[in-house]
């Protein structure tokens, strides 16, 4: 079986210890690849390479904006040529239905194109000022931060990599990248594309291995100027603590437990479909999943009946055959989700459907969980408070708008939220009250390169995507020019 290696200083390299890790297809439980299992030493080599690239050779950083944009467009074109293979790779590695993986690849390609466009957009501001020292012309310039460490999760392997790499490279940084060891394969392909496209040696470095070794070394290194991380809130906290050492810049995209408030004046069939997308898309392994579903008591029974019928009609299978639901990413994740199902039952929620592993036919060896609905949940239940990261909907009935808003905000997280109603004023009123970074009205989950992505409270720090996503990877410098040369006579008073 071919070994997937690290990419350091423009060359592929095994880990210094020769240790490897297995990559498993979650639909079958079979090993599909081996990767390097890197150590602190491998990571430090990659950091040294990025540091040399940024501070010594400066090839990538010194390119003008148009040349950097051309490279990003070239990368997008190469990804487009390999679209089918990239999508199949994410499906094999992560389990997601192929049509969802294809959507991810298209979004990733557009993300590189979007940041290629932004690189050539005007930037900076100018001022004419005088604060008593004579007339000055003042302007700002955006510069790359330096060496950026980037660490990603497994739920959108290619897309999460792209959301970090495209803006960081657009800004002119050099990068050390660690993907999740669960699903690293499409990111390895992306680095093959960087190599083929001719990215300068050292500007992009890939280190494969565990978070405890590679991720921790990146986050705590004195030679890394910035660390950006997408993953769980718990690991995000440890990264922030590691980063304190040299006060590096930190960007955190963390977990969530987002609400979906469904009022009785909604389009009921539309609300049911968006609730399914909000809960079951990507097998529910979505940070912005809106699986805490608050339904107004007047339509509660009709909503649950329709949701149950549509959920039970969902197809389950190997992602390659394009079912509605594929496997969860790993055996551990499946067991974690089934553990939450047991908790829900024990704490008194009503199991409407699902709630067990699925092992029919081709699914026998995979990590499948039937799409699950719990009804009559209450705010204090574990399944309502904690991020499950699996296909589990938790329905909580409510009576008044104020009650729904209060329960929606009763969480330590603040990533996303949804409201379904035909009353525009009510929708805007509720959206204004929800303490979260990403909100949807009469829809759930659509995401755009143009719009900022990120959370309030314990869902993170900073924003990805949009112009904000580029600014995260930049420092801003002010330059002040005296418009009259010579002494100003400050001490002659
Ligand atoms: P995770 O366990 O936090 O892992 C994320 C990444 O961090 C992996 O690459 C992991 O490496 C690495 N890591 C683990 N321990 C580390 C440490 N001590 N220091 C540095 N890095 C470390 O999260 P996950 O299970 O992969 O992903 C699911 C989570 O991601 C959910 O909570 C979800 O909400 C969140 N997420 C958030 C967003 C967002 O935009 N807000 C988007 C997607 C996912 P290994 O696993 O390879 O050891």
Domain shared by 248 and 279, yes or no:
no
Residue 36 reports pLDDT greater than 90: yes
Two tokens at 467? Answer: 């112009």
Dist. CA 190–CA 79, nearest whole Å: 8
| Three-class secondary structure assignment of 145-157 | CCEEEEECCCCCH
Handedness of CA 58, 64, 70, 75 (dihedral sign): positive
| Mean pLDDT computed over 45-65 | 98
The percent of residues in the chain predicted with pLDDT above 90, rounded, is 99
Q: Whose CA is nearest to atom 26 of ligand 1?
A: 153
pLDDT in tens, 112-125: 999 999 999 989 99
Dist. CA 362–CA 346, nearest whole Å: 31
Considering the domain boundaries, does residue 369 fall inside one?
A: yes
Domain shared by 250 and 264, yes or no:
no
Domain shared by 391 and 423, yes or no:
yes
- 253 carries an active-site annotation: yes
**Taking Cα atoms as reference points, which of 417, 375, 380, 421 lies closest to residue 401?**
421
H-assigned helices in 372-413: 382-385, 401-409
Instruction: Tell whether ligand 1 has an atom less than 6 A from the beta carbon of residue 456.
Output: no
Considering the domain boundaries, does residue 422 fall inside one?
A: yes
| Mean pLDDT computed over 461-472 | 98
- 287 carries an active-site annotation: yes
Domain shared by 279 and 404, yes or no:
yes
Considering the domain boundaries, does residue 485 fall inside one?
A: no
Q: What is the layout of strands, in order, in the sheet containing 30-36?
A: 3-4, 30-36, 20-25
| Mean pLDDT computed over 160-174 | 98
pLDDT in tens, 283-337: 999 999 999 999 999 999 999 999 999 999 999 999 999 999 999 999 999 999 9
| Mean pLDDT computed over 348-362 | 97
Considering the domain boundaries, does residue 493 fall inside one?
A: no
Total count of domains within the chain: 2
From 178, 221, 232, 417, give the residue whose CB has the most ligand 1 atoms within 8 Å, as the site to mutate: 232
Considering the domain boundaries, does residue 288 fall inside one?
A: yes
**Locate tokens 């008044």: which residue?**
400
Domain shared by 97 and 38, yes or no:
yes
- In terms of Cβ atoms closer than 10 Å to its own Cβ (0-12, 13-18, 19+), residue 40 is middle
Which residue spans within 236-331 are E strands per DSSP? 249-253, 259-262, 292-296
Considering the domain boundaries, does residue 446 fall inside one?
A: no
**pTM for the full model?**
0.98
Residue 75 reports pLDDT greater than 90: yes
- Residue of 102, 111, 183, 253 marked active site: 253
Residue 420 in contact with residue 264, Cβ under 8 Å? Answer: no
Strand 292-296 relative to strand 368-369: parallel, antiparallel, unpaired?
unpaired
Give me the chain's average pLDDT, please.
98
Residue 278 reports pLDDT greater than 90: yes
Q: What are the beta bridge partners of residue 478?
A: 140
Contacts 24+ apart (CB under 8 A), 303-308: 303/262, 303/268, 303/271, 303/272, 303/395, 304/352, 304/373, 304/375, 304/395, 306/268, 306/269, 306/272, 307/272, 307/275, 307/276, 307/352, 307/373, 307/393, 307/395, 308/352, 308/353, 308/373
Domain shared by 237 and 342, yes or no:
no
Nearest-5° angle of CA 254, CA 281, CA 310? 140
Instruction: Tell whether ligand 1 has an atom less than 6 A from the beta carbon of residue 148.
Output: no
pLDDT at 94: 98
| Mean pLDDT computed over 125-143 | 95
Residue 390 in contact with residue 284, Cβ under 8 Å? Answer: yes
Domain shared by 268 and 183, yes or no:
no
pLDDT at 2: 84
Domain shared by 239 and 293, yes or no:
no
Domain shared by 220 and 159, yes or no:
yes
Strand 136-144 relative to strand 474-482: parallel, antiparallel, unpaired?
antiparallel
E strand or H helix that includes residue 76: helix 65-81
Strand 136-144 relative to strand 147-151: parallel, antiparallel, unpaired?
unpaired
| Mean pLDDT computed over 247-251 | 98
**Taking Cα atoms as reference points, which of 319, 428, 274 lies closest to residue 28?**
319
Considering the domain boundaries, does residue 489 fall inside one?
A: no
- Residue 91: HSE in the Cβ half-sphere, 13 Å Cα cutoff: 23
Residue 197 in contact with residue 75, Cβ under 8 Å? Answer: yes
CA of 274 to the centre of ligand 1 (A): 26
Residue 493 reports pLDDT greater than 90: no
CATH of the domain at 175: 3.40.605.10
Residue 481 in contact with residue 136, Cβ under 8 Å? Answer: yes
User: Which ligand 1 atom is the nearest neighbour of the CA of 154?
Assistant: 26
**DSSP string for residues in 24-48:** EETTTTEEEEEEE---HHHHHHHHH
User: Which ligand 1 atom is the nearest neighbour of the CA of 178?
Assistant: 9
CB atoms within 10 A of CB 7: 26
Domain shared by 307 and 331, yes or no:
yes
Residue 1 reports pLDDT greater than 90: no
- Residue of 148, 183, 287, 444 marked active site: 287
In this prediction, residue 362 has a pLDDT band, given cuts at 50, 70 and 90, of very high
Dist. CA 247–CA 208, nearest whole Å: 25
Dist. CA 377–CA 347, nearest whole Å: 9
CATH of the domain at 399: 3.40.309.10
From 107, 184, 211, 458, give the residue whose CB has the most ligand 1 atoms within 8 Å, as the site to mutate: 211
Handedness of CA 285, 290, 294, 300 (dihedral sign): negative
Residue 151 reports pLDDT greater than 90: yes
Dist. CA 344–CA 377, nearest whole Å: 8
Instruction: Tell whether ligand 1 has an atom less than 6 A from the beta carbon of residue 389.
Output: yes
User: Which ligand 1 atom is the nearest neighbour of the CA of 389?
Assistant: 31
Query: What per-residue string of b and e applies to 282-308 under the rule 16 or more CB within 10 Å gives b?
Result: bbbbbbbbbbbbbbbeebbeebbebbb
Considering the domain boundaries, does residue 361 fall inside one?
A: yes
CA of 153 to the centre of ligand 1 (A): 4
Residue 241 reports pLDDT greater than 90: yes
Domain shared by 304 and 433, yes or no:
yes
Residue 55 in contact with residue 84, Cβ under 8 Å? Answer: no
Instruction: Tell whether ligand 1 has an atom less than 6 A from the beta carbon of residue 465.
Output: no
Domain shared by 273 and 364, yes or no:
yes
Two tokens at 466? Answer: 């949009």
Dist. CA 471–CA 203, nearest whole Å: 19
Domain that holds residue 382: 259-441
């Amino acid at each position: 079986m071919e070994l997937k290696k690290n990419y350091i200083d423009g060359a592929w390299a095994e880990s210094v210890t020769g240790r490897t890790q297995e990559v498993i297809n979650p639909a079958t439980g079979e090993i599909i690849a081996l990767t390097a299992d890197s150590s602190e030493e491998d990571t430090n080599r990659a950091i040294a390479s990025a540091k040399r690239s940024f501070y010594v050779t400066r090839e990538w950083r010194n390119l003008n904006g148009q040349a950097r944009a051309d490279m990003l467009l070239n990368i997008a074109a190469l990804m487009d040529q390999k679209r089918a293979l990239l999508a199949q790779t994410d499906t094999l590695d992560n389990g997601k239905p192929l049509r969802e993986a294809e959507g991810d690849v298209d979004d990733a390609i557009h993300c590189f194109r979007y940041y290629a466009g932004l690189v050539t957009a005007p930037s900076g501001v100018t001022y004419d000022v005088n604060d008593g020292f004579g007339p000055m012309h003042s302007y700002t310039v955006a510069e790359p931060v330096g060496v950026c460490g980037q660490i990603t999760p497994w739920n959108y392997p290619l897309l999460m990599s792209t959301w970090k790499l495209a803006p960081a490279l657009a800004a002119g940084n050099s990068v050390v990248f660690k993907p999740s060891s669960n699903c690293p394969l499409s990111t390895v392909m992306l680095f093959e594309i960087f190599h083929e496209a001719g990215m300068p040696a050292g500007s992009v470095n890939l280190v494969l291995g565990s978070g405890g070794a590679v991720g921790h070394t990146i986050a705590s290194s004195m030679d890394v100027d910035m660390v950006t991380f997408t993953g769980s809130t718990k690991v995000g906290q440890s990264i922030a603590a590691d980063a304190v050492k040299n006060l590096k810049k930190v960007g955190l995209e963390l977990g969530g437990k987002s609400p979906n408030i469904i009022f009785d004046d909604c389009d009921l069939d539309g609300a049911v479909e968006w609730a399914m997308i909000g809960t079951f898309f990507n097998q529910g392994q979505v940070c912005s999943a809106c699986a805490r579903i608050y339904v107004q008591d007047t339509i509660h029974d009709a909503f649950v009946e329709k949701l149950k019928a549509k959920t039970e009609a969902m197809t389950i299978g190997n992602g390659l055959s394009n079912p509605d639901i594929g496997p969860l990413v790993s055996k551990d994740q499946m067991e974690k989700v089934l553990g939450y199902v047991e908790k829900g039952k024990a704490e008194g929620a009503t199991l409407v459907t699902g709630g067990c592993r699925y092992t029919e036919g081709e699914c026998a060896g995979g990590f499948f969980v039937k799409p699950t609905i719990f009804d009559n949940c209450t705010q204090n239940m574990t399944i309502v408070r904690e991020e499950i990261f699996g296909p589990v909907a938790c329905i909580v009935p409510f009576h008044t708008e104020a009650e729904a808003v209060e329960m929606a905000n009763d969480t330590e997280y603040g990533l996303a939220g949804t409201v379904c109603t035909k009353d525009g004023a009510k929708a805007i009123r509720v959206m204004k009250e929800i303490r979260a970074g990403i909100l949807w009205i009469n829809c759930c989950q659509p995401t755009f390169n143009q719009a900022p992505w990120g959370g309030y409270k314990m869902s993170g720090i900073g924003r990805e995507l949009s112009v904000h996503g580029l600014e995260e990877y930049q420092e801003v410098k002010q330059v002040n020019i005296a418009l009259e040369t010579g002494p100003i006579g400050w001490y002659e008073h």
